[in-house]
Amino acid sequence: MSSRRKFMGQVLGGSAGLAVSGWLAPARSLGANDRVRFGLIGAGGRGQEIFKAALRAPNTEAVAVADVYTRRLDEVKALVPAIKTYGDFRRLLDDKSIDAVLIATPQHQHALNFVPAIQAGKDIYQEKTMAFNPDHAKRMRRAFQGSGRVVQVGIQSTTGAGFEKARDLLAREKMGTITAIHTHHFRNAPYGGWLREIPPDCDAQHVAWKAFEGEAAPHPFDPQRYLNWRFYWDYSGGNVFENMVHQVGFWYKALGLNIPQAATMKGENYLSPKMQVPDTMNVTMEQRERILFTWNSMFGNDYYGEGEDLVLGNQGTILCKELSALRYVPQGAKAEEAAAKPSGAAPDIVGGGDTTDDHMRNFFDCVRSRKEPNGSFEIGFRSAIACQMAITSYRRRRTVRWDAEKEEIV
C-alpha cells in the first residue's frame, strides 16, 4: 500500500474520534459583516463555476486553490492573480486563515477531501453527489457529527422561492394523499455533453495521477480517465449522480422523505461506446412513506427536456417544468387550463446562474450565523444513498434494499 493510501486511511478512519475529542481546529470567530476567506479544492468546470459564485457573494475573499492538474491552477490564477496554488489539497487546509472550502473534485474524491477539511476546522460547500458510496457517506457523517462545522451540499434547488412555493403547494388540503412522484431528465447530446477534448499538457508531468485515483482501483496514467472521469465506474455514478440527485434532493427535503426501502434501475449504454455508465435508464424507488419515486433519463432524445417533475396526489397534481415554473392542478381539472396560471418561479437545478449564486450566499450567511444551510448534510446523505442504491441495482442487475439497521445496501 502506498504511503498516500496509508495516510488517507488513517485520516478517514480516525475522523470520528477526532470530532468527539474536540481536537478540531477552532474556526475564526466571525460577525455578521465579517469577510469570509475561502479556498477551492477541485478547479475543473464545475469548480470554477462555484468559485465565481463565491466571488460574487458579498464580503468574501479567495485565498487558495488546490488541484491535481497544473492547467486548472493556472486558470484560477488568471481569475484571481494573487491566489495561492497547491497541487496537494492538504497544504491548503494547513492555512488557518481560511474559514471555508468549496469542494468540487470528482465524486470518488469527495470523502477524501471532506473528512480532512472537517478535521482542519473548515466549513464546507460540498458539491453533489455528496458521497460516492455508503462507506464514504458514513465516514463523512462521523467526521461531521459534533464538529460544529457548517456544511452546504450543492443541491441548489433547495434554495430560493421555488422551493418554498413547492412546500406550500404540497399542503395536504391541496394534494390529499401523495402516492407517486415522477421525474425525468432527457438530453439529445452525445455522451450527455460531457465528452472533453484532451489538451496537449494533460499528461503525467502535469497531473498528479495517484492523488487523483485516491482509493479507486489503480490504473496506469490515462488522460481519458482523468479528464472524462464521468464515463468510468471507478470515479462516477453517471447521470444518476450528475442530475437525478438534484431532483431526489429537492423532493426529499420538500416532503421529508427518507432513504428508500428498495430501488431498481434498468438501462443500457446504446449510443456512447467510450463510456462505461449507461446513457438510457429508468429508476424506481420504493419509499418507506408509501410513495413510488421514478426517474427516467436518456441522452438520445430531448422531447421532454431536462425535467418536468410531477407529484401525484388523490386531490391534485404539482407540475414542475425544470423546477422553473410550478403549477398546481386540482383533481378533475385539465392541465392545459392550469398552464396559463403559473403558481410561482423555482430555480434551475442543472447549471449555474442565479440559483447557484443564491445557494452560495446562503452558505456564506450560515458560515457567519452558524445556522444550518438550505442544502443540509442530512439531505446530502439521504440523496447520496438513494442514488447509490440505484447504481448498485443496475450493476447487480436486481432490486436492492436498504438495511437501515446495518446501514448497508443488500
Average pLDDT for residues 289-316, to the nearest whole number?
A: 94
Q: Residue 341: its pLDDT value, please?
A: 46
- Per residue in 1-55, pLDDT (tens digit) is 444 444 444 444 444 344 333 334 445 677 777 999 999 999 999 999 999 999 9
Does the structure show a pLDDT above 60 at 143? yes
Find which of 96-100, 170-174, 335-339 is predicted with most confidence, using mean pLDDT: 96-100
| pLDDT band, very low/low/confident/very high, at 152 (cuts 50, 70, 90) | very high
Q: What is the pTM of this model?
A: 0.89
Average pLDDT for residues 205-223, to the nearest whole number?
A: 98
Q: Residue 60: its pLDDT value, please?
A: 98
User: Among residues of the chain, what percentage have pLDDT more than 90?
Assistant: 80
- Cα separation, 68 vs 225, whole angstroms: 14
Task: 340-347: list long-range contacts, CB under 8 Å, 24+ apart.
Answer: 343/165, 343/169, 344/161, 344/162, 344/165, 345/161, 345/162, 345/165, 346/157, 346/160, 346/161, 346/162, 346/163, 346/165, 346/166, 346/320, 347/156, 347/157, 347/159, 347/160, 347/162, 347/163, 347/323
Does the structure show a pLDDT above 50 at 99? yes
Average pLDDT for residues 63-90, to the nearest whole number?
A: 98
Q: Residue 354: its pLDDT value, please?
A: 65
User: Among residues of the chain, what percentage have pLDDT more than 70?
Assistant: 87
Does the structure show a pLDDT above 90 at 107? yes
Does the structure show a pLDDT above 70 at 223? yes
Q: Residue 336: its pLDDT value, please?
A: 59
Antiparallel, parallel or unpaired: β 262-268 and 280-287: antiparallel
Ramachandran region of residue 279, left (φ > 0), alpha (ψ -120 to 50) or beta?
alpha
Average pLDDT for residues 141-151, to the nearest whole number?
A: 98
Q: Residue 30: its pLDDT value, please?
A: 79
CB atoms within 10 A of CB 190: 15
Of 199, 209, 212, 152, the closest CA to residue 379 belongs to 152
Q: Residue 325: its pLDDT value, please?
A: 72
- Per residue in 345-377, pLDDT (tens digit) is 332 223 334 689 999 999 999 999 999 999 999
Fold of 3-158+356-376: Rossmann fold (3.40.50)
- Per residue in 258-294, pLDDT (tens digit) is 999 999 999 999 999 999 999 999 999 999 999 999 9
Amino acid identity, position 215: E
Fold of 161-193+234-349+386-409: Dihydrodipicolinate Reductase; domain 2 (3.30.360)
Domain boundaries in the chain? 3-158+356-376, 161-193+234-349+386-409
Higher per-residue pLDDT: 397 or 165: 397
Q: Residue 347: its pLDDT value, please?
A: 28
- Per residue in 109-131, pLDDT (tens digit) is 999 999 999 999 999 999 999 99
| pLDDT band, very low/low/confident/very high, at 189 (cuts 50, 70, 90) | very high
Average pLDDT for residues 300-305, to the nearest whole number?
A: 94
Burial 208-228 (b: 16+ CB within 10 A, else e): bbebbbbbbeeeeeebebbbb
Residue found by looking up cell 497547491 in the block: 86
Mean pLDDT of the chain: 89
